[in-house]
């Protein structure tokens, strides 16, 4: 891995390459939505004419950033771009900040995720707060997530705090987006939203706008990616873009950019499989799986669930019991797969969801799924490494772009 | 390609064999690692065996249900433990009385530690437990994290541990099992968990009961005998999925 080599050989490589970018470095982090939000923010900034350096989809460790830089850094060792927008894993965001102080940070949310790595949610929240403290110019925070909004009183003096969130009219949908059970009442109450804060206001299942104060609207617009989570990501990206661009921000440009963004690989990506849509939906943690089931629950199709337990997936599969699968009950599940296929089938049994077949081998499972359900729409919920493997097979089968070729 | 036998178990002739009250203590504060799955598992299995489960969630500050037939607790964060300490101390006598009277209990991870004599933090502060299990836990800087296979009275038990506390059994205290793979109580003596009477303490998430139905049914049998005064009359449950999932984990992990 070239990024790893450079990280070891010259730890100052990052600092040097990112120094003096005229508009600085933006870090996007949080448990869920990093990849989608980063892609959206990059699209908006490019639509405004900025040269943006970003790390490719999902490579959210420091060395992933370095790897992607190697291709773009000229002999001078300095990047030719106006701004860098980097998606970083919560733990690696801090490592990164030790080398390069972010100009802006966009902090999305905190949820149970891979507790074998992060141990505690409180710990993850602390990592985000420390990142905010390292940020030099501005932070954009999720106003609805108390783990994130309360970071406002932790930033350095002079650092501007703005928020994104949901319009009060849909506050009743917050429980499906975050884990109320791990949030306790505390003394911190975020300030009432101002005209600098972007609030999501959906019109229906697909159309929405992002409101800034009483008069300013970005939208209405319709994303290619479905679901409330994607809309909130759009509100986050729009709020960050507005904070960055200030007077240069153009509402029409932002809408144009957001409506063109393709779902990142495996995040609700729709693949044409022998004339039928096949949706690939990445699920990494209880909040993400719950939101995914809510997003797709209104349109049940034949389903496969692939669960692996590599390091990148989280090795403990206990989290599957913090998700309710009742929305799959009517239609049942066609197939479970991955090394934990039997654990997943067992989990579904406890929610009275029938499972037609169990096939731990991912390739065999995919082959069977595509053949047995050839003439109907399909959906695969999968963990990260399962997604990588399945998508590689699907790419070969249907001639899709490979990873790293994601047209950002 | 294997065919899943996802048979829905017979639920008897529809006449309940009796009501069993399952109390989950501190489900908000002490269940971030999926341990609610244990409660879900017991509720379903009770129903499948023909009994009527009554699930009660006990939150700090509420009256503790003294008519509990089975008590469950899970793992939480340090902040979660701090939030339940007062209530646990308040109900310690009730829990000790229930335990002494034979009420089956399963305490996982953080609640296992709190059912011991004490938790000693890295800084040396001694936080008292309720002393149902004769164990003492010492806080560590390093966490013990990873998949576990145990040898127990209920066969091989699989799960996942994620704890920073290192637990020592007092002389004479029975462990729940012996470690085949993983760290267990302390990474040194190959013991895992503790059992006193019908009270089980363990570090195993997974959650442990769905993955190990023999253990689940053992708890149910104890609860039934205590609640109804008659032997457990199991229904027929197809555990093929759980058995296969467990066999595969054992095969992957035990070398």
Asked if B1 and A357 come within 8 Å (Cβ–Cβ), the reply is yes
Q: Is the pLDDT of residue A72 over 60?
A: yes
Q: Between residues B32 and B248, which one has the greater pLDDT?
A: B248
Alpha-carbon dihedral A125, A130, A135, A139, rounded to 10 degrees: 20
From A44-53, A84-93, B34-43, the region with the lowest mean pLDDT: A84-93
The per-residue pLDDT for A7 is 55
- The pLDDT tens digits for A232-277 are 999 999 999 999 999 999 999 999 999 999 988 777 888 999 999 9
Asked if B210 and A347 come within 8 Å (Cβ–Cβ), the reply is yes
Q: Which residues contact A89 (CB under 8 A, 6 or more apart)?
A: A29, A34, A60, A61
Distance in angstroms (rounded) separating the CA atoms of residues A328 and A317: 19
Token readout for B77 is 């964060």
Q: Is the pLDDT of residue A408 over 50?
A: no
Q: Which of B33, B146, B206 sits opposite A115 (nearest CB)?
A: B33
Q: Between residues B173 and A60, which one has the greater pLDDT?
A: B173
> Is residue A74 classed as helix, strand or coil in its secondary structure?
coil
Q: Is the pLDDT of residue A347 over 50?
A: yes
pLDDT band at A320 (very low <50, low <70, confident <90, very high): very high
Among A343, A354, A366, which would you mutate to test the B interface (most chain B Cβ atoms within 10 Å of its Cβ)? Answer: A343
Asked if A354 and B78 come within 8 Å (Cβ–Cβ), the reply is no
CA A76 centroid distance within chain: 33
The per-residue pLDDT for A73 is 65
Contacts of B77 in chain A (CB under 8 A): 120-122
Q: Which of A184, A345, A347 sits opposite B4 (nearest CB)?
A: A345
Token readout for A237 is 């990206």
Distance in angstroms (rounded) separating the CA atoms of residues A341 and A318: 14
pLDDT (average), residues B39-63: 95
pLDDT (average), residues A350-375: 97
Q: Is the pLDDT of residue A407 over 50?
A: no
Q: Which of B37, B143, B145 sits opposite A321 (nearest CB)?
A: B37
Distance in angstroms (rounded) separating the CA atoms of residues B130 and B88: 8
pLDDT band at B79 (very low <50, low <70, confident <90, very high): confident
In chain A, pLDDT over 70 holds for what percent of residues? 84
Nearest chain A alpha carbon to B48: A350
Strands B177-181 vs B191-192: parallel, antiparallel or unpaired? antiparallel
The per-residue pLDDT for A31 is 87
pTM for this entry = 0.82
Contacts of A336 in chain B (CB under 8 A): 4
The per-residue pLDDT for B3 is 35
Strands A207-212 vs A198-202: parallel, antiparallel or unpaired? antiparallel
Asked if A119 and B143 come within 8 Å (Cβ–Cβ), the reply is yes
The per-residue pLDDT for A404 is 46
From A26-35, A219-228, B9-18, B103-112, the region with the lowest mean pLDDT: B9-18
pLDDT (average), residues A56-70: 63
The per-residue pLDDT for A60 is 58
User: Considering only CA atoms, which of A24, A5, A43 is closest in space to residue A234?
Assistant: A43
The per-residue pLDDT for A20 is 81
The per-residue pLDDT for A207 is 95
Q: Between residues A17 and A86, which one has the greater pLDDT?
A: A86
The per-residue pLDDT for A188 is 63
For tokens 């029409």, name the residue.
A252
The per-residue pLDDT for B14 is 64
From B87-101, B116-130, B185-199, the region with the lowest mean pLDDT: B116-130
The per-residue pLDDT for B201 is 98
- Contact by Cβ (8 Å): A398, A354: no
The per-residue pLDDT for A57 is 60
Q: Between residues B34 and B187, which one has the greater pLDDT?
A: B187
For tokens 């530690």, name the residue.
B113
Q: ∠B149-B153-B157 over CA atoms, to 5°?
A: 20
Distance in angstroms (rounded) separating the CA atoms of residues B28 and B36: 10
Q: Is the pLDDT of residue A71 over 50?
A: yes
Instruction: Work out the mean pLDDT of chain B and round it to a whole number.
Output: 91
The Cα-based distances of B56 to A298, A346, B25, B49, B172 in angstroms read 31, 24, 8, 19, 33
CA distance B164 to chain A (A): 9
Give φ, ψ of B84 to 5 degrees.
-105, -10
Q: Which residues pair with B127 in a beta bridge?
A: B119
CA torsion through residues A76, A81, A83, A88, sign: negative
Distance in angstroms (rounded) separating the CA atoms of residues A329 and A349: 10
The per-residue pLDDT for A184 is 54
Asked if A181 and B78 come within 8 Å (Cβ–Cβ), the reply is no
pLDDT band at B11 (very low <50, low <70, confident <90, very high): very low
The per-residue pLDDT for A314 is 84
Residue A366: enclosing H or E segment and its boundaries? helix A362-372
Q: Give the residue numbers of B annotated as catalytic, written as ranges.
A: 109, 205
pLDDT band at A92 (very low <50, low <70, confident <90, very high): confident
What secondary structure letter does DSSP report for A203?
A: S
pLDDT (average), residues B239-249: 97
Instruction: Work out the mean pLDDT of chain A and round it to a whole number.
Output: 86
User: Considering only CA atoms, which of A141, A110, A229 is closest in space to residue A177?
Assistant: A229
> Is residue A194 classed as helix, strand or coil in its secondary structure?
coil
Whether the CB of B141 is below 8 Å from some CB of chain A: the reply is: no
Q: Which residues pair with B21 in a beta bridge?
A: B54
Half-sphere exposure of A342 (CA within 13 A, CB side): 18
Asked if A116 and B146 come within 8 Å (Cβ–Cβ), the reply is yes
- The pLDDT tens digits for A115-163 are 666 667 788 888 999 999 999 999 999 998 888 998 888 899 999 999 9
pLDDT band at B107 (very low <50, low <70, confident <90, very high): very high
């Amino acid at each position: 891995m070239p990024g790893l080599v450079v990280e070891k050989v010259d730890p100052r490589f990052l600092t040097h390459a990112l120094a003096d970018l005229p508009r600085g470095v933006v870090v996007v982090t949080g448990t869920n939505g990093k990849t989608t939000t980063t892609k959206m923010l990059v699209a908006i900034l490019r639509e405004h004419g900025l040269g943006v350096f970003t790390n490719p989809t999902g490579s959210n460790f420091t060395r992933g950033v370095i790897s992607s830089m190697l291709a773009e850094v000229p002999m001078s060792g300095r990047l030719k771009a106006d701004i860098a927008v980097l998606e970083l894993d919560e733990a690696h965001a801090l490592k990164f900040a030790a080398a390069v102080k972010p100009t802006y940070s966009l902090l999305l949310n905190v949820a149970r995720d891979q507790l074998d790595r992060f141990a505690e949610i409180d710990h993850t929240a602390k990592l985000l707060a420390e990142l905010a403290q390292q940020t030099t110019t501005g932070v954009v925070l999720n106003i609805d997530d108390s783990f994130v909004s309360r970071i406002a009183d932790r930033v350095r003096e002079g650092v501007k705090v703005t928020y994104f969130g949901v319009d009060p009219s849909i506050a009743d949908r917050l429980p499906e987006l975050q884990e109320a059970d791990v949030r306790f009442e505390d003394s911190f109450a975020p300030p009432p939203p101002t005209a600098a804060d972007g609030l999501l206001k959906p019109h229906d299942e697909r159309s929405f706008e992002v409101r800034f104060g009483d008069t300013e609207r970005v939208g209405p617009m319709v994303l290619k990616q479905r679901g409330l989570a994607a809309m909130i990501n759009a509100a986050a990206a729009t709020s960050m873009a507005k904070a960055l661009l200030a007077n240069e921000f153009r509402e029409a440009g932002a809408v144009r950019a957001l409506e063109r963004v393709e779902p990142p690989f495996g995040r609700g990506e729709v693949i044409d499989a022998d004339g039928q849509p096949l949706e690939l939906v990445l699920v990494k943690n209880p909040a993400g799986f719950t939101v995914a089931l809510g997003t797709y629950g209104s349109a049940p199709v034949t389903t496969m669930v692939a669960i692996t337990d590599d390091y990148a997936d989280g090795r403990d599969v206990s989290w599957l019991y913090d998700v309710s699968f009742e929305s799959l009950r009517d239609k049942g599940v066609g197939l479970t797969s991955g090394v934990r296929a039997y654990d997943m089938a067992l989990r579904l049994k406890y929610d009275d969801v029938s499972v037609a077949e169990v096939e731990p081998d991912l390739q065999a499972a995919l082959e069977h799924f595509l053949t047995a359900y050839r003439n109907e729409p399909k959906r695969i919920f999968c963990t990260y490494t399962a997604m990588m493997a399945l998508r590689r097979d699907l790419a070969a089968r249907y001639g899709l772009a490979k990873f790293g070729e994601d047209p950002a | 390609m294997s065919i899943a036998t996802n048979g829905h178990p017979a639920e008897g002739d529809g006449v309940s064999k009796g009501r069993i009250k399952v109390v989950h203590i501190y489900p908000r504060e002490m269940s971030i690692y999926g341990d609610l799955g244990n409660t879900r598992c017991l509720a379903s299995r009770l129903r499948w065996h023909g009994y009527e489960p009554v699930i009660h969630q006990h939150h700090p500050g509420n009256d503790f249900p003294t008519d509990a037939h089975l008590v469950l607790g899970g793992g939480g964060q340090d902040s979660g433990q701090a939030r339940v300490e007062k209530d646990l101390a308040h109900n310690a006598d009730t829990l000790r009385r229930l335990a002494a009277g034979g009420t089956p209990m399963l305490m996982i991870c953080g609640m296992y530690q709190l059912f011991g004599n004490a938790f000693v933090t890295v800084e040396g502060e001694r936080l008292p437990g309720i002393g149902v299990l004769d164990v003492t836990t010492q806080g560590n800087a390093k966490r013990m994290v990873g998949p576990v296979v145990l040898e127990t009275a209920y066969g091989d038990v699989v799960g996942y541990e994620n704890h920073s506390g290192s637990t020592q059994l007092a002389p004479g205290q029975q462990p729940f099992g012996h470690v085949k793979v993983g760290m267990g109580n302390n990474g040194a003596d190959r013991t895992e968990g503790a059992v006193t009477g019908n009270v089980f303490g363990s570090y195993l998430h997974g959650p442990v009961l769905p993955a190990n139905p023999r253990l689940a049914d053992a708890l149910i049998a104890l609860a039934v005998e205590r609640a109804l005064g008659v032997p457990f009359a199991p229904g027929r449950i197809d555990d093929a999925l759980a058995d296969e999932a467990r066999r595969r984990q054992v095969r992957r992990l035990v070398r």
